[in-house]
Structure 1
Amino acid sequence: MRRFLVRVEAVNLASSIVDTDDLSVIRGGGFANLLVPERLLGALDMGALALVFAGASQAEAILNVAENVDERQVEARLISLASGQEDVANMEPQLVAILPHLTLLCAVVPYESGYLAASRYAIGKIRERQLMNLTIDKGEPPAQSFRRPCMVDGTRPGSMSLSKGGKKLIVSSSVYSRQILGRELRQEIYRQIGVRTDRNLEYADSFADLVNDPPPGLSPSLKGKMAVVYFDGNKFTAIRERAIRNDQHGGGDAVRAFSEAVTKARALFLDRILDNLENDSRMYCDGRRLRFEILMWGGDEARFVLPAWKLAEILPILADDMEGEHWAFRGETMTSAIGVLVCHHKMPITRAVAMADDIVDEIKAYQRAKEGKPENMLSIQLIESIEPHVGGIRGFRQKLYQTSDASAFVVEGASGLRSIIDSYRRITDPSTGLPRSQLYNLISEARSQGLPGQLAGEASNLEELLQTAVDRSRGENGEDVVMALKAALLDPAFGVSAGAPFVGLVRIAETWDLMRPFMVSSELETEIG
C-alpha cells in the first residue's frame, strides 16, 4: 500500500471571476473555483481517500493506493477529470461545463514525513506549474462562432446565445457556463459556505442593480456608490502550522479542525449579515432581488459588495463578530485585516477589487511595523474617480492628505470600531453634533493659518480651533455636550495619533454622508430649497 498527499488548487482566479461586471457570471466563476477542487478529489476513484481540508479554492486529501500505482498515474487521472471531457462522479453538469474555463492544477506527493512536509512539497510543485501556465483559461475551440466578441466579457469569441432581461446576448462559452452555474446552483453554493439555505433569496444581477432606485432621503453624494469589502486573515497559515506541529496524529487532524473552524466562523458572520439584509425592505431592488453579492468566499479570505449607504449599519455587526468566541482556535485568536473601498458602481470591478486589496496590504504593513500579536483592523477609503490612481492607495492618500501613514486611516479592534461609530454619531447628529458648515470652516481656518495642506500642524492647534468651533455652535447645549463632541472629534481613529491631526477633519468631511447616509427632514427641506 502506498500513501500520497493529493492537492488540487484553482489559480489565476481573475480570469474566471472578475473579468466581467455581470454579477451572475462573477458569482458562477467565484463559486466554481470554490467548489471544484473538493469535487475533483471526491471523484478520484483510485483508492481510499480521506479529505484533509477544502476551502479558498484549494483542497487536500490523503490517498491510499495499491503498490503498483505511482504519482504520475494519479496526476494523469486528476488532469483527465479536470478537463471537462467526461462526466465526473458527484459533480453537477453545470460544474462539469465550466471545468475547461478554470485553471486547475494538481500535485501528488509521497506522504512519508508527516503532513506539513508533504503539503509544502505539493504547494511548491503547484507554484512551479502555475508559472508555466497561461494566466487565462485556454478553454475549447468553440463549436460555432458568431464572428463577434462576447457581449459580456468583451474579449472571448461569442459562440453561444443567452437570454437575459428580455434581451438575447451573444456570449462566450466561459460566460455562458458561469452564468448558468451562478443562477442554478445558488443554494448549493450557500450550503457549501455553511450558512442557512432556507432563505431562498434572489440577488442583484449587476452593480447598477445594487445602487439604482435608492431609498428616499439618501444623501446625493452616495447615489451610485457601492462598498467593496475585503477580509484577509492575519497569519492564518502560522496558526495552522503551530497546530500541526502540536498534533500527535501527524498534522492532518489539525488542518481539518482548523479549516472547519474558519469555515464556521466566516459562515456565522455571513449569516448575521444576511439576517440583517433580508429584513431590510430597502435592500431589495424590484422588490425581490437583494442588493448584495459575494465576490469571493473561502479560507482566510472573503469579499462582498453592497450599497455604500448600508455600510454604516453593517459596521456594528462587524464589531460584534470581531469579539466572537468562534474566532478562537486552540488557544489562539484568529483576526483579519479588513479593507473597504467605497466607489462609484461604474468603476471596473477588477480595479475596485485591486484597490480594496491595496487597502488591506497597507493595513498588514502597519501591523508588521507594530509587531506583537495581529489585531482585527479596518480601513475605509472613499474614492470619487473611476480612473486608476498612480501609486495605488498609498500614492492616492499621500497626494490627497499629505500623509500615507497607515495609522491615520486604520481602526484597531472591536473597541476602536465601536468608538469611531459612536464618534461619527455624535459629530453628525443634527441636534447636538458639529454643523457641517463648522467642519468646513475648521478646515478653511487651518489652511488660512498656513498649516501645510491643512493636514499637518500641532495637535494643540487643533484642540484650540475645535474648542472655539464647538463652543460657538453648541455652547448653549451645556458643557457635557461640548466635551463629548470635542472628544469625538479628537478620536485617535481619525488620525490624531498619526502626527497629522488635521487629517481627521478631512476624513470626517468626506465620510460624513457614508456614516449618516439619510438626511433628516430639515436637511431635505434645505436640499429642496
Structure 2
Amino acid sequence: MNDGNGTAMLRIEGVNLAAVLDDTDDISVRRGAGLLLRQAILQIEERWQNELTAVSTGASVGLFRLNGDTKAEDIREEVAHYLNHDENYRHLTFVVDIDRSGSFAERREALIAKNRFRQLSQPSLALPAPGLSDKVCDYDRLRPADGGAKLKKREHASGSVRARFEFGRKQRQRFYADELGMEESELPAFTDDLHELTDSNEYGNLNEKMAVIYFDGNKFGEIQRDFCKDEKGQAEWDSALGNYRRGYLQDLILLAREDEAFLSPNGERLRLELLLWGGDEIMLVVPAWRGFEVLHHFYSRSEKWTFKGRALRHAGGLVFCHRKTPIPRVTTLAKQLAERAKGEKGKFSKENRYDYLVLESIDFPAEPLEQFLEKRYGSMAYDQQPLLVQSPPPYEFLPSVRPILDPLPFRPFRALAESLIQGVDCEKRVARLNELIGDGTHEEALTKLEKKVARRLFPGIADEHWGWRWLHLVELWDYIAPQPTRSPR
C-alpha cells in the first residue's frame, strides 16, 4: 500500500445525524436514514473506483486515497456535488475534505478536523426545494410536504421522509444479505413496525413493550491512533472489526430464528430491528421479553474480541419501555446510559459494563438523566455503579433463573426495594422474606438466593452496597428470561 508523504486523501462523513435519525417516530424512516448513510459511502467507493481507493469505510464515514495524478480538489467537488444532488442522498448532509500533509496518521487527524470545520460552516439541515407545498410534513413537523400521496396513515410527507421510508422498506433485506454473504431468499423476513415487533398475548405485562439496546466501543479511537499508523494498520483494524461484527450478526440471526419468542404473531417474521450498525456503534430493538438475553448474548460473543493483543470492550445502554414511547427519546436515553457505563473520564473503559432503565409507561424522563435517577432511587442513587459483565458472561446462566424466581412472592421483594430507596431500616423486611422463602435449613434463605442468583447476575457490587443487588433484581424481575404463557404477577 502506498503511504508516502504527500499522497492526497479524501474523507467523507455524514453529519448532523439527529436531523435524519431522530426527527420522526417512524421506525422505517429511521432505518432508511441509517441504510442511506451506509450506502452513500459504498456508492462513492464504487462510482469513483478509478480515482479513489478505499482505506476505511464505516457506517457513515469513508476514508479514501486518491490514485495517481487525480486532481484532488476536482474529485472533492465532484463527490460533494453528487451527494448534494442525488435523489436520495440530497436529503442528508455530508462533509467532504482532502488533505496531503504529513504522515498517514497526521492526515487522518487533519481530515477529521477539516470535516468538523466544514460541518460548522454549512447548514445543519438539507434544505428542500422551495414551493413544493404549503403543508407541513406530518412526520417531522419541520420540512414542507412534497405534495405527493399520503404515506401510510398520514396525509402529508416531506420528500426527505418519503425517500428514507421507501429506502428503509426496500433495502433492509439487501443490507443483511451483504453483511452475511447470503442471498436475500435465504434470509428471514423482519417485522416492519414496533407494534408487530412487540405484539403478544403470551408475556403478560410485557405485551407491547420493547428493549432498545445500544453498544459503544470503549477507546476504539485511541486504539486506532495507537495501532493504525499507516494504511496497512487501518485496513487490519477495519477487517478485524468487520469480521467480528458480521460473526455476531450471524449468531444473533441464528438465535432469533431458533427461538419462537422472536417470531411475530403470524409466525412469518423475526422481531428484530437494527438501527445502528458500523464504526464502533450498534443499536438494536427487540421485544422486551428478550432484551436482557440479547444484551448478554452480545457480551458473550464479544468477550474474546481483541486487536493486536488489546481487548475490545463495550459500554452498553438498555432501555425497557412501551412501544409508543417516542423512539428518538429512547435512543438518546440508551446512548446516555452507555456513556454512564464508561464511567467518569473513562474509568471503566477496560471493562464490559452496561446501565439500564425500566420505563413502566409511555412517559419518559423530562429532566436530565442524573436528576431522574436521583428522584427514582433516592439516597441509593449516589452508590449506583454501571453493571459489570464478568467472564464468563451470565448469558448461559439466564434460562436457569426463571424457574428460581417464578415461585417466589414478588411483593415482599418490592417492599424491600422501596425500603432501601426510602433509606429506612430493612431488618424487618429481610426477616419477613427469610420467613416466606425459607426452606428450613440453617442458612438464611435470602443469603442463599443472593449467592445463587443476584451475585451471578450483578457481580462487582461491593458488599457495603448490597442493597443494589436486590434493587436490580426487583427492577428486572419480569425481564430475566421470561417464558410464554406465564401469568402476570
Same fold (TM over 0.5): yes
Cα drift, residue 279 of structure 1: 3.2
Structure 2 CA distance for partners of 1:124 and 1:180, relative to 1, 3 Å: same
Matched residue of 1:117: which SS?
helix
> In 2 relative to 1, CA 131–499 (structure 1 residues): closer, same or farther, beyond 3 Å?
farther
Structure 1 position 4, deviation (Å): 0.7
**1:285/1:57 CA distance change after superposition, 3 Å:** farther
Name which of structure 1's ranges 337-346 and 194-203 shifts more when overlaid on structure 2.
Answer: 194-203
Partner of 1:5: 9
Which of 133, 148, 157 is equivalent to 2:144? 157
Matched, 1:469 2:428: no
CA contact (8 A) 2:38 2:58 kept: yes
1:454 aligns with 2:431: no
Rounded to whole Å, the distance in 1 between the matches of 2:410 and 2:485 is 14
- SS of the counterpart of 1:138? coil
Percent of residue pairs bearing the same amino acid type: 25
1:225-253 deviations in Å (ceiling 9; x for gaps): 111110100011111222124xxxxx111
Classify the secondary structure of the residue corresponding to 1:239: helix
Aligned residues of 2:213 and 2:291 also touching (Cα < 8 A): no
Offset of 1:342 from its aligned partner? 0.9
Residue 188 of structure 1, aligned match among 160, 163, 174:
174
SS in 1 for 2:325: coil
SS at 1:52 equivalent:
strand
Whether contact under 8 Å (1:161, 1:168) holds in the other structure is: no
Residue 267 in 1 paired to residue 246 in 2? yes
2:342: which partner in 1? Answer: 364
Change (3 A) 1:179 1:442: closer
Contact kept? 2:299, 2:352, Cα under 8 Å: no
**Mapping 1:171-186, distance limit 5 Å:** 171-186=157-172
Q: CA deviation at 1:169?
A: 4.3
Q: Secondary structure at the match of 2:55?
A: strand
Q: 1:441 to 1:382 in 2, by over 3 A?
A: closer
Segments of structure 2 that go 5 or more residues without pairing to the other structure are: none
Cα gap change, 1:480 to 1:205, in 2 (>3 Å): same
1:380 corresponds to? 356
After superposition, the Cα gap between the structure-2 partners of 1:456 and 1:500, relative to the gap in structure 1 and judged at 3 Å, is: farther
What is the RMSD of the two structures over their aligned residues, measured on CA atoms? 3.1
How many angstroms does 1:123 deviate by?
0.6
Q: Which amino acid aligns with 1:98?
A: N
Q: 1:34 aligns with which of 35, 38, 50?
A: 38
Q: Please say if residues 52 and 256 of structure 1, whose CA atoms lie closer than 8 Å, have aligned partners that are also in contact.
A: yes
1:56-67 to structure 2, matched below 5 A, reads 56-66=59-69
Contact 2:275/2:284 (<8 A) preserved: yes
**What is the identity, as a one-letter code, of the residue corresponding to 1:294?**
L
**Judging changes above 3 Å, is the alpha-carbon distance between structure 1 residues 494 and 344 closer, same or farther for their aligned structure 2 residues?**
farther
Check 1:486–1:187 CA distance in 2 against 1; reply closer, same or farther (3 A cut). Answer: closer
Task: Letter of the 2:476 partner, please give it.
Answer: T
Q: CA deviation at 1:195?
A: 5.9
* Structure 2 partner of 1:307: 287
Q: Does residue 279 of the first structure (1) align with residue 258 of the second (2)? A: yes
1:487 pairs with 447, 451, 457, which one?
451
Structure 1 residues 256-297: Cα deviation after superposition (integer angstroms, max 9, x where no partner): 111121122112112211112233344214443332211111
Question: Residues 40, 303 of structure 1: CA spacing in aligned structure 2 closer, same or farther, 3 A cutoff?
Answer: same
**What CA distance in whole angstroms lies between the structure 1 residues aligned with 2:125 and 2:151?**
26
Q: Is the 8 A contact 1:455 1:500 kept in 2?
A: no
1:10 is matched by which residue type in structure 2? G
C-alpha displacement of 1:124: 0.4
Deviations 1:334-384 (A, max 9, x none): 1110110111211111111111111011111257235xx611112221122
One-letter code of the match for 2:414?
Y
- CA gap 1:420/1:478 in 2 versus in 1, 3 angstroms: farther
Cα deviation per residue 1:468-518 (whole Å; 9 max; x = unaligned)? 623542324886977531424652827852844323333322221111534
C-alpha distance 520-294 of structure 1, shift in aligned 2 (>3 A): closer
Corresponding position of 1:105: 95
Distance 1:440 1:244, change over 3 A: closer
Contact 1:17 1:30 in 2 (8 A): yes
What residue in structure 1 maps to residue 471 of structure 2?
506
Q: Equivalent residue for 1:90? A: none
Q: CA deviation at 1:385?
A: 4.3
User: Letter of the aligned partner of 1:484 in structure 2?
Assistant: K
Other-structure match for 1:88: none
The one of 192, 206, 219 equivalent to 2:204 is: 219
What is the SS of the residue equivalent to 2:381? coil
Equivalent-residue separation in structure 1 for 2:245 and 2:383 (angstroms): 26
Moved more, 354-363 or 16-25: 16-25
Matches within 5 A, 1:6-25: 6-25=10-29
Specify every segment of 5 or more residues in structure 1 that has no aligned partner in the other structure, as ranges.
Answer: 85-95, 246-250
Shift of the 267–466 alpha-carbon distance from structure 1 to 2, 3 Å rule, reads: farther
Q: 1:108 to 1:42 in 2, by over 3 A?
A: farther
Give CA deviations for 1:403-442 in whole Å, capped at 9, x if unaligned: 4357544133343545984795475142xxx421331343
Q: What is the Cα deviation at residue 20 of structure 1?
A: 1.5
Specify the SS of the correspondent of 2:37. helix
Equivalent runs, 1:203-218 vs 2, <5 Å: 203-212=190-199, 214-216=200-202, 218=203
Q: 1:126 aligns with which of 82, 104, 115?
A: 115
Question: What TM-score results when the alignment is normalised by the length of structure 2?
Answer: 0.88
| The 10-residue stretch of structure 1 (488-497 or 283-292) with the greater mean CA deviation from structure 2 | 488-497
What residue is the counterpart of 1:234 in the other structure? 218
* Runs of 4 or more consecutive aligned structure 1 residues displaced over 6 Å after TM superposition: none
- Of 243, 267, 273, 1:293 maps to 273
Which amino acid letter does the alignment assign opposite residue 170 of structure 2? E
CA contact (8 A) 2:434 2:445 kept: no
SS of match in other structure, 1:148: coil
Secondary structure of residue in 2 paired with 1:264? helix
Contact map agreement 1:339 1:360 (CA 8 A) in 2: yes
Q: For residues 215 and 265 of structure 1, do their structure 2 counterparts lie closer, same or farther at Cα, with a shift above 3 Å needed?
A: farther
Aligned length: 481
Against the structure 1 CA distance between its residues 413 and 141, is the aligned structure 2 distance closer, same or farther, given a 3 Å change threshold?
Answer: farther
SS class of match (1:302): strand
Structure 1 residue 135 corresponds to structure 2 residue 135: no
Matching residue within 385, 398, 414 for 1:440 = 414
Pick closer, same or farther for the CA change 1:416–1:269 going to 2, 3 Å: closer
In 2, Cα distance between the equivalents of 1:420 and 1:367? 32
Q: What is the distance in 2 between the residues matched to 1:57 and 1:3?
A: 23
Give the 3 Å change call, closer, same or farther, for CA 287–366 of structure 1 in structure 2: same
Secondary structure of the 2:137 match is coil
Which residue is 2:377 aligned to? 401
Aligned to 2:310: 332
Once the two structures are overlaid, the 10-residue window that deviates more, 386-395 or 25-34, is: 386-395
Judge which range, 492-501 or 20-29, deviates more.
Answer: 492-501
Aligned residue in 1 for 2:390? 413
* Shift of residue 387, structure 1, vs aligned partner: 3.9
Q: TM-score, normalised by structure 1?
A: 0.81
Contact 1:475 1:482 in 2 (8 A): no
